[in-house]
Chain A
Amino acid sequence: METLWLMPALACYVISAMIFVASRFFGRTRASGWATMLLGAGVVLHALDLTARGLQAGTIPVANFAESLSFLAWLTALAGLMIIVRRQMAVIGAYIASAVALALAVSAVMMHGARLVIPETLRSAWMPVHVTLAILGYSMFVLAASTSIVYLVCESRLKTKRAIATPDDPVPSLEKLDRINYSLLAWGFSLLSFAIISGAIWADATWGHFWSWEPVESWSLAIWIMYAGLLESRLTAGWRGRRAAALTIVVFVVLIGSFVGINLMYPGKHGGSFG
């Protein structure tokens, strides 16, 4: 299905990403205000696209990988926008907007093709809850990874004494980046936990068993354990700063690998016949 809004939304994201990257590169901090506004415009247009799809499907539009990816991109853009505006974190804009633009572009390319309809048996009130929790959780991990990249860049500049090149560059402090990373991880972890629980309840209601060890379930559990370990190490061993940032990125790479890999290798396994 094609909607009017997808391409304009993608254009907004792409231009926003380009301005964000350019403003970092040339040190023109005022330009990032425009980039933020474009990101916001992209979120609005993208929301219209999702609404149109949702109205047509009669439920949230996540019938295939392309649509799930689009939904993930939207939630990431929305949450990213909130962090950029409310926490004055324009510096992560370059990563967020690029990731969102890339995800939506991939989604748009894959969107062509036969549309799968969600089977009647799976239509349940649990579906939007489970899917939204899971994808919102993933979006938190995207943001946490972006924040961690910024952390590592800033940290290495400070260590190697190159931070001094632009002393008035409004880069957030390491402490702030670390704190934001932590709260994003905590949110992402909680959402993922609830997503797994709600998925299990839904599976029980539909098929009569909570857990069937299919790939998405297994990988979700593995990722859940990794994030649990990440949070645990911070709380007990005091792993913070560089180490925490590096691990956040590593776990995120595993997450992306499984998200993409499973959807390409085992399409249609998770939840039955669609996917």
Chain B
Amino acid sequence: MDQSLFILGVNHRTAPVAIRERLAYADAEVVAALERLRRRARALSEAAILSTCNRVEIIGVAPDVAGAFDDAAAFVAEDRNAALKAFAPSLYRLEGRDAARHLFRVGASLDSMVLGEPQILGQMKIAYARAAEAGTVGLVLHRAFHRAFTAAKRIRKATLIGHGSVSVSSAAASLAGRIFDTLSDKTVMMLGAGKMAEMTARQLKSKPIKSLVISSRTFDHAAVLARELGGIAVPFEDYRPHLKSADIVIGSVASTRPIVGPEEFEAVIKERRYRPIFLIDLGVPRNFDERLNRLENVYLYDIDDLGQVVHKSQAEREREAARAEEIVELELESFWRWMNGLDLVPTIRDIRYSIDRLRDLEMGRHRGWLKGLAPDERERIDLLTRGLTNKLLHRILQGLRKSGNSAEGAYTAEVARKLLCDELGVSSDELDALEDSTADAIADDDRADREDLRPDIGDQIGKK
């Protein structure tokens, strides 16, 4: 029963939003959908649904992948009430190692529309939790998702993939943060109510600001926006008196020449007593004379300057993506070894840990009367119990090795691990703490084998 991982889905590259929204699942629908999927598509042994703005994917495990693809596709068509023909060309079908790589890349935000955006990992965690809730997660998906989370975390830590501003509005907000310590005592002023200016104002408003003044050629437009964003609208003829109290001015007025020049602005600066002012010029042609940047404590960024920030961040993220891909390959390799049953080491390590824990617990329970014994007697009891647990472990390990380096072997091992660890209440946190000691585990295992073959433990006890 060779199980294989597969992914069937559409994303922002293969399908337009019209198709993606048709197939998308709201979070609340996912559990029920998975239950329907389990009943409908019997070829699948495990399944999860990942549905975000940019992708809808069924991540599954099945012995017969070709059949599972067809079943899953038919299920989606039926369940979402969409003609299969309409979206079939947009579907991608990945299996085995490619599917695992895809899952890891998605989690690490390497497949996102905005490279490195942080939401996807959370969405994937929710997808996993929903599948667990629906009871459609088995050994393979459990492992695959957790390895994907680990890979994503490693990538966040080791690369700069999530750094920098990748939109004009966030670039403006991050620059504001380099000028001002806090915006809670700052006034933001919008001259013109263009779409990008609005987005920038929203971004700035995501942290508390003192007030927002909106002035636009069409007063009604300004008034509507002011109501929506919680600011005050000012007729365009009257904006000048407000200029001196504004700390950030966003210009997006359609005008053939600059609406604010250096001479009049110098007076504003003096009136402001040289408090810094950040001018964000989103207008084309530009709203603010470029000479304003030369004035003391005035920082003027036009659309090209901001575009350059975005461009640099994107370039940086793309450079970092290459390093992220390397980490994905490393994690993929370890996952793939496990998939193929080549990697029994983590499982053996967990089992060993659980059995040792059991011995420790029992010894702890009898600590009271053990204390009353002579030291050599205590030592003998220690040797006796260790001998017992080592024998038990050896039996299990031999059994696992006999089942060999096959997928079935991995399954058997996982079942053994599950029984022992869960029964003993060993938490996965404890096991994660052992995660890095894989090499030690191998060494331990070899040593254990040698110890196990040593007859002297029994002999010693017998002699005494």
A: residues with CB less than 8 A from B are: 154, 158-159, 161, 163-165, 167-168, 171-176, 179, 237-243
Contact = CB atoms under 8 A, between A and B. Distances in A.
Contacts of B275: 238, 240
Given A158-B175, A238-B274, A165 B312 contact: yes
Given A168-B163, A168-B164, A243-B296, A175 B309 contact: no
B323 to A, nearest CB: 15
Nearest to A179: B181
Contacts of B175: 158, 163-164
Contact of B293 (A159, A239, A243): A159
A175 B276 CA distance: 8
A159 B175 CA distance: 11
B328 to A, nearest CB: 23
A163 B276 CA distance: 16
Interface string B254-277: 000000000000000000111110
Contacts of B274: 238-241, 243
A32 B431 CA distance: 33
A162 to B, nearest CB: 10
A183 B272 CA distance: 21
Contact of B299 (A158, A167, A237): A158
B119 interface: no
A245 B325 CA distance: 45
Given A167-B164, A241-B296, A243-B274, A174 B179 contact: yes
Given A167-B309, A168-B163, A179-B181, 12 more contacts: A159-B299, A163-B178, A164-B308, A167-B165, A167-B312, A167-B313, A173-B179, A174-B180, A175-B182, A237-B273, A238-B275, A240-B274
Interface string B356-383: 0000000000000000000000000000
A1 B254 CA distance: 75
A167 B174 contact: yes
Contacts of B309: 164, 167
A175 B296 contact: no
Contacts of B181: 172-173, 175-176, 179
A227 to B, nearest CB: 19
A176 B163 CA distance: 23
Q: Which 5 A-B pairs have the closest CB atoms?
A: A238-B273, A175-B181, A164-B309, A176-B181, A241-B297
Contacts of A243: 274, 296
Contacts of B272: 238
A207 B232 CA distance: 68
Given A161-B305, A164-B309, A173 B178 contact: yes
Interface residues of B, number: 28
B149 interface: no
Contact of B308 (A159, A161, A172, A240): A161
B258 to A, nearest CB: 19
Interface string B295-337: 0110101000100110011000000000000000000000000
Interface in B379-421: none
6 contacts: A167-B174, A174-B178, A175-B179, A238-B272, A238-B275, A240-B275
A238 B301 CA distance: 24
Interface of A is mostly: helix
Contacts of B301: 161
Residue among A159, A161, A164, A176 with the highest chain B CB neighbour number at 10 A? A164
Contacts of A174: 178-180, 276
B188 to A, nearest CB: 15
Contacts of A240: 273-275, 297
Contacts of A165: 312
Interface in B99-152: none
B191 interface: no
Given A158-B179, A174-B178, A240-B275, A167 B171 contact: yes
Contacts of B313: 167
A163 B299 CA distance: 12
B250 to A, nearest CB: 17
B177 interface: yes
Interface in B410-449: none
Interface in B166-216: 171, 174-175, 177-182
Contacts of A179: 181
Contact of B312 (A159, A164, A176): A164
B178 A154 contact: yes
A238 to B, nearest CB: 3
A238 B178 CA distance: 21
Contacts of A173: 177-181
Contacts of B178: 154, 158, 163, 171, 173-174
Nearest to A173: B181
Contacts of B276: 174-175, 241
Contacts of A161: 301, 305, 308
Contacts of B171: 164, 167
A161 B290 CA distance: 13
A168 B164 CA distance: 6
Contacts of A159: 293, 299
Contacts of A154: 178
Nearest to B312: A164
Nearest to A243: B296
Contacts of B179: 158, 173-175
A27 B340 CA distance: 42
Contacts of B163: 167-168
B179 to A, nearest CB: 5
Nearest to B309: A164
Contacts of B160: 168
Nearest to A178: B276
A239 B296 CA distance: 10
Nearest to A167: B164
Contacts of A176: 181
A240 B296 CA distance: 10
A238 B244 CA distance: 14
Nearest to A239: B274
Contacts of A239: 274
B374 to A, nearest CB: 49
A166 to B, nearest CB: 9
A165 B171 CA distance: 12
